[in-house]
Structure 1
Amino acid sequence: MATTSMTQQIVPPATIGMLGGGQLGRYALMAASAMGYRTVVLDPDPSAPAGAHANDHLVAAYDDHASLDRLLRECDVVTTEFENPPAAVLERLAATTRVAPRPASVAVAQDRIAEKAFLVDNGFPVGSFAVIADGSDNQSGIASGTGLSSVVAGGAIVKTARLGYDGKGQRSVDSVAGVHAALAELGGVDCVVESRLDLRAELSVIIARTVDARVEWWPVAENRHVGGVLDLTVVPARVDPLLADRAIGLAMAIGDALDYVGVLAVEFFVVAGHDGDDSLLVNELAPRPHNSGHWTLDASVTSQFEQQIRAVCGVGLGDTSMTAPAVAMANLLGDLWLPSGGDGRVREPRWEAIFDDPHATLHLYGKSQPRPGRKMGHVTVTADTPDQAERRVVALREALLAR
């Protein structure tokens, strides 16, 4: 297939390639299929959720030469549903076909050290941190400028630079000695040490950006994490509108600085500022649709997944208006199938509780094996206010365990 230029619009029945076959890829390929595109997914797991919704599922390693050659032959554009595809794979594909997001953008987001450097170099606000690379403290990465001891003075989190997600590859510490113990537990890999913050809220902004810098965004989401895993999202966020506007502005500026193409999620911490007002710090970037944007499937004119397809194909972006005053989303983890105090057998949750609520929608990802902490699905509830939506979605999730 001839190389598709980055500015050319890609329209059906063109073929879209996808690296990764998880639930994010599943919904993106479902949207692509509904729009008339042909799709090919590359994922080594034969039971990957996206595989059932692709025209072809290449069951192979991400660096499998034959599979990559097939993507190059058949696809007009290749995108990714996770931030950790091998960099060499993206570069190889990008040499002869269109890849979005750009490999350079993904490279920033898949390495916490590169991500911190990008944010600091471009003047975006971040919390105090230190970089531990090759077993030595890198003082240049410490925002406070007073050393590792100040970063951990009020407690800190040690995070692996690569491959950490949903709380994996993280350790909480309260001393320099604790940092070094955590490094040993994590295998001596490169890490970032982040000061623990007194959080007022956790927010995320999801934007979509085309190669010619057209941008759309959704209302700011308010998130709650449990054990490092997203537990609940409420939209719109219950924060000062001026703070929400600043978050959107920062997300758009980050997209510009990355020269980003596709859907990008920016996670923020809200902390007390020096003047007493709430202040924003950038936490992490996700170069793909995001868990906190799942609500867009049920309460937005255009979902984040359809928008991903539109953005990487360079066609017009869809309307991101909400279709309800408020919405809340709760993740459904494998623990629901394995209730505590039971005999260890898998039990289906009581789905009737969700189906009985006309304002609730159940999404299951087609994963056959529930495991503690594994994302198996989610439920969304629309309501008149964010508080109402949150209360109802929490109650519904609790009702799934009723026997």
Structure 2
Amino acid sequence: MRRWLGLLVAATTSVVLIALLVPMALLIRSVAENGAMARATSAAESVVVAVGTPDLELAVERVPAPVSVFLPDGRVVGARARESDAVRLARAGRSVTAEAAGGREVLVSVRSAQGPVVIRVFVSDAELFAGVREAWLALLLLGLALVVLGIVLADRLAVRVTRPVDELARVSHRLAGGDLEARAEPGGPPEVESVGLALNHLAGRIGDLLAIERESVADLSHRLRTPLTGLRLDAESLRDPEEAARIGERADALERAVNAVITEARGRTGVRPPRASCDATAVVGDRVRFWAVLAEDQERAFTVELPGGPLEVAVGAAELAAGVDALLGNVFAHTPEGVAFSVRLAPHDKGAALTVADEGPGFPPELQERGSSAGGSTGLGLDIARRTAESSGGAMTVSRASVELILGLTQP
């Protein structure tokens, strides 16, 4: 902005100065020219009074300008000069001004007893434009000085505007990075100061909303602990020890998931935590074994392809497990019983590729489109899976009957 303001002021000032100084320069030239011609005319008139008297030569010598007097008998008194067409025209009784080599000649016609007398005063170009170049140079320097002064003043004004704007940009980036304590120092023009105050208000409002969210999560934790405790007591009252252990394990897993969500929400400040990592082979294998029990109950055939060794990815084990559960949960929730599915984990040039496919009717086209973008939740768990992939630096791709997660590698 500083550069553009400087260029704008320079262009505007230059146009104004050109419109002002060019006529002034022409006026200076015209004044100098008219002054020289007036002096020449005055010199000629001072000689006119001596025409026809013995004092003519003395009067010519007293004139500082080069004067030539053409007498009727052809003699020339004063400076030597040839009889030009203008001189012959002046002999006819007309006083004229004519261009000559190296300047101008002022011709005054005088009638005497012997005949017409022509007084010629020569004005050189140096006399016509004496001081004009110096005046033009002074105008040029004055114009340049005014342009430079305008640019300097525009730059100072631009600094007053751009410095608060740059400060607002820095505070905005800090807020975007999670530093909710960042505040702008309002300053500059009233409009910019108003933006700074609005940004500070927005930052305070964001902090208030996060505090409200944390309070809501805390309230949620109290609401969920009671039914979880009841579920655990019901499990312990079952007569079948295996069934009681299985339901108790499910209740424990649910409680851990709720606690993880509450802990994450309470500690959320907007600052991105350092990336966790896990062995994708172990996590995917564990979640498939968990869902295998339900698959057997529903008579679903399934295949699992896992790498032969560990495959480290840049996502935490709990987060990856939630993403895998979301994809497998979709298979069981939205395909008929008996529909087969497959899980494949393989190395990828960006990290690891996890593909979950089934033989069901597939996703509608609109869900395929939203699942591969950053749209809102689809209601099928795809949003959870997408966030899992993106948190590792990867992406998610949804096709008709499969979902592929690209998981980023752990950075060394």
Say yes or no: TM over 0.5. no
Bigger share in helix: 2
TM-score with structure 1 length normalisation? 0.22
TM-score with structure 2 length normalisation? 0.21
